[in-house]
């Protein structure tokens, strides 16, 4: 059996400590960034649901078609409660069905955050994960929650 010198053992312990300190620093940074990533996930998920259920009538980027109104017009801004009520029950006399049988509360909330991001011009047109600086992920402005 080969004996390890005290200098080699000291270096190995020092390297192990350094690697674990780096892990703690990365973990702390990831936890500090969690709110922005949660907002991004809500916006991205809202975009996905938008493109499954809403874009055919309200347009690809929520800017209206001949079938339905522009949802990013600042003069037509709806409160969260009003938006959720309309999406849940629809507006039958204007041809909009309610989505309460197909979507859950989380999906309704994600749709709202996506529409708010577009209406407040913090999210440019297009797919959220491809519209950020240099083609990278879109990063929500500091403090913006979409609520």
Is 28 a residue whose pLDDT tops 60? no
Domain ranges within the chain, ordered by starting residue: 47-127
Is 11 a residue whose pLDDT tops 60? no
Over the range 29-44, which residues count as b (16 or more CB within 10 Å of their CB) and which as e? eeeeeeebeebbebbb
Kindly report, residue by residue over 121-140, the tens digit of the pLDDT: 888 888 887 666 667 778 88
Helix, strand, or coil here: 91? strand
Q: Are 59 and 123 in contact (CB under 8 A)?
A: no
Q: How high is the pLDDT of residue 132?
A: 67
Does the domain made of 47-127 have the CATH classification 1.10.760.10?
yes
Kindly report, residue by residue over 79-113, the tens digit of the pLDDT: 899 999 999 999 999 899 999 999 999 999 999 99
Q: How far apart are CA 128 and CA 41, in angstroms?
A: 10
Q: How far apart are CA 106 and CA 18, in angstroms?
A: 41
Mean pLDDT of the chain: 77
Q: Are 99 and 53 in contact (CB under 8 A)?
A: yes
Q: Are 123 and 131 in contact (CB under 8 A)?
A: yes
Q: Please indicate whether residue 65 or residue 10 has the higher confidence score (pLDDT).
A: 65
Per-residue CA distances from 112 to 11, 13, 26, 76, 87 (Å): 54, 51, 32, 14, 9
Q: How high is the pLDDT of residue 15?
A: 45
Q: Please indicate whether residue 62 or residue 81 has the higher confidence score (pLDDT).
A: 81
């Amino acid at each position: 059996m080969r004996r390890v010198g005290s200098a080699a053992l000291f270096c190995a312990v020092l390297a192990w400590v350094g690697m674990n300190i780096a892990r703690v620093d990365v973990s702390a940074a990831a936890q500090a960034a969690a709110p922005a990533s949660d907002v991004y996930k809500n916006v991205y998920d809202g975009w996905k649901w938008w493109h499954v259920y809403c874009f055919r009538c309200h347009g690809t980027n929520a800017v209206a078609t001949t079938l339905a109104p522009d949802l990013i017009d600042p003069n037509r801004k709806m409160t969260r409660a009003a938006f959720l009520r309309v999406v849940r029950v629809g507006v039958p006399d204007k041809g909009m069905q309610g989505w309460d049988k197909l979507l859950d509360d989380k999906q309704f909330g994600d749709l709202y955050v996506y529409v708010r991001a577009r209406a407040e011009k913090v999210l440019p047109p297009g797919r959220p994960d491809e519209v950020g600086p240099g083609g990278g992920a879109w990063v929500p402005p500091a403090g913006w929650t979409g609520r």
